[in-house]
Amino acid sequence: MTHPDMTHPEKLALQMGLDIPDFDRDGYYGADYGTMKPYHRVGSLLFLSGHVAQIGAEITHKGRLGRDVTVDQGYLAARQTGLNVLGGIRQAVGSLDRVKGIVRSLNFVVCTPDFEEVHKVSSGLSDLFVEVFGPERGLGGRATIGVMALANGVCFETWVTVEVE
């Protein structure tokens, strides 16, 4: 049985009390990282630029997994990044209700060379998408790569492709 609000992710996000940024009001923070636009749409595919664990101008989790940041903190960084992705979707198409499915995410985790739990970090993002959109629409393909550095010391970044109405 499908949850009654799974067809209405906007209503569900409100019920969950999610703090989703309003990039139309506040501006997309990605412009602080260089020359880019927030998204590009081709037909029913929405390609979002990079999103990180940031609230306004403040990075929520800095450092390196396996040294400065625990797996649990990394998971929370990925979840915060997911909230920003939801804000990016709203900016691009006006409503989370227009999402037909998360196609894929490519995730980057700043970590020590011997850190092997990058997948556990990315689950913070994937779990949020499943909570908001349900397993049919919210669970997409995923890859996670451990990297040496990301801009401004963030520990997690994602690049998401979404199918929209």
Domains of the chain by residue range: 9-164
**Which runs of consecutive H residues, i.e. helices, occur in the chain?**
9-16, 23-26, 71-93, 118-138
Residue 6, pLDDT above cutoff 80: no
CA-CA-CA-CA dihedral for 35, 160, 146, 77, to nearest 10: 90
3-state DSSP assignment of residue 33: helix
Q: Which two tokens stand for residue 104?
A: 């894929």
State the fold for domain 9-164: 60s Ribosomal Protein L30; Chain: A; (3.30.1330)
Distance CA 24, CA 2 (A): 32
Residue 5, pLDDT above cutoff 90: no
**Total-model pTM:** 0.95
Distance CA 45, CA 162 (A): 6
3-state DSSP assignment of residue 144: strand
3-state DSSP assignment of residue 96: helix
The model's pLDDT over 17-62, given as tens digits with 9 standing for 90+, comes to 999 999 999 999 988 898 999 999 999 999 999 999 999 999 999 9
Q: 33: burial class by Cβ within 10 Å (0-12, 13-18, 19+)?
A: middle
